[in-house]
Amino acid sequence: LRGAATHILSTGKLDPKRLKGKLSHTLDPSSDEMARYFRTGSDRLDHKYGEAENASKLATGAERLERLPPGIVIIGKGIMEVDRRVAMSAKEGLGCRVTHCVYRAPPLNSILDGLMYVQNLPSMCVPHALSPKPGERILDMCSSPGGKATHTAALMNGEGKVIALDRTTVKVKIVRKWAENLNLPNVEVLKADCTMLLKEEPCDEGTTNTDESAAPQPHFDEESFDHILLDPPCTALGLRPRLFIDVPQVLMETMPYYQRRMLQVASRLLKRGGRLTYSTCTINPAENEENVAYALANLPLRLIPAEPIVGGPGRANCGLSEEDRKKVQRFEPSQVDTNGFFLALFVKQ
């Protein structure tokens, strides 16, 4: 199908009728014809492979898709640059060259390379809430892809140390690549299991061995970090856009306990008076407000306002008092046009 015209679809949690009502505001005001095209084209898709005049050449009968399923809208049109096999299997490269799009925002790939890192608004709030100072020693326990670690290092003006950890070799390489690309020598990237960071006996701290599979598990002394970033693995229910949500129930039930293990380790590694950010990209209260309540009840941590406050308060009836709900930030996609996200800020007593 290389060279065939195709529709570009979205299956986000958007009501198609509501989206069509917004298209005239999203498109360039001068392109009235294009606005009309997308408003009418969002109701029908002549053929799932492209234009109606090509339908007889590509498929017939049951393969024709006369109407879009509920929740799917057309967000653009383009020309396929590769065949279907490559488009479905390749991990990188150009699959479709967009010719028409409902969005005005241009792609930012390779723009200001080495000078800019694109982040979502909630993620940008985390390093500012941590408020690191030049010369301090910071730990990012689950750092991939590296946005918060590099942002923190930049706020420190390249002074001090940000130790960025992740569990897999692939993720460690991604973080290291971004640190090098942004010219941040104060970021040290290590492969580590963040539930096993405590130094039980004297041993050397991990090194940046380029052979990640051979690098030893790093260990650290208790109360050896000025501040800590913890954005643990989560059910990621807040990510947008999502083609589908496939989170098994068992993961929903067990993930909060895994995150609590990391909170326990973080509280021991943090110096007294140091700050700890806890953030997730999920909207599941068990991983957010309930974990904050657990930390307040079981760890030497006190909740303080995660300023600057950009998101809304925490959910009610999920373990936090009315006062503490106002200290955390919850980004609900239905209320704020961002990814679903949660942020809490602790100080060690």
The gap between the terminal CA atoms of the chain, to the nearest Å, is: 62
Question: What is 312-344 written as a DSSP string?
Answer: BPPPTTSS--HHHHTTSEEE-TTTSSS--EEEE
Q: How far is the C-alpha of 97 from the C-alpha of 119, rounded, in Å?
A: 24
- Tell the burial category of 207 from Cβ atoms under 10 Å away from its Cβ (0-12, 13-18, 19+): exposed
Nearest to 268 by CA among 222, 218, 205: 222
Cβ 292 vs Cβ 303: under 8 Å: yes
Q: Residue length, the chain?
A: 349
Q: Output the six-digit token pair for 53.
A: 């005049």
Whether 281 is a known active-site residue: answer yes
Q: How far is the C-alpha of 168 from the C-alpha of 144, rounded, in Å?
A: 9
User: Which distant-in-sequence residues (6+ apart) come within 8 Å of 229 by Cβ?
Assistant: 126, 127, 130, 138, 139, 140, 141, 143, 148, 149, 152, 277, 279
Q: How far is the C-alpha of 74 from the C-alpha of 85, rounded, in Å?
A: 22
Q: Which of 194, 203, 281, 318 is catalytic?
A: 281
Q: How far is the C-alpha of 234 from the C-alpha of 250, rounded, in Å?
A: 13
Residue 219 gets the label, from left (phi > 0), alpha (psi -120 to 50) or beta, of beta
Q: How far is the C-alpha of 216 from the C-alpha of 230, rounded, in Å?
A: 21
Point out the residues that are catalytic: 281
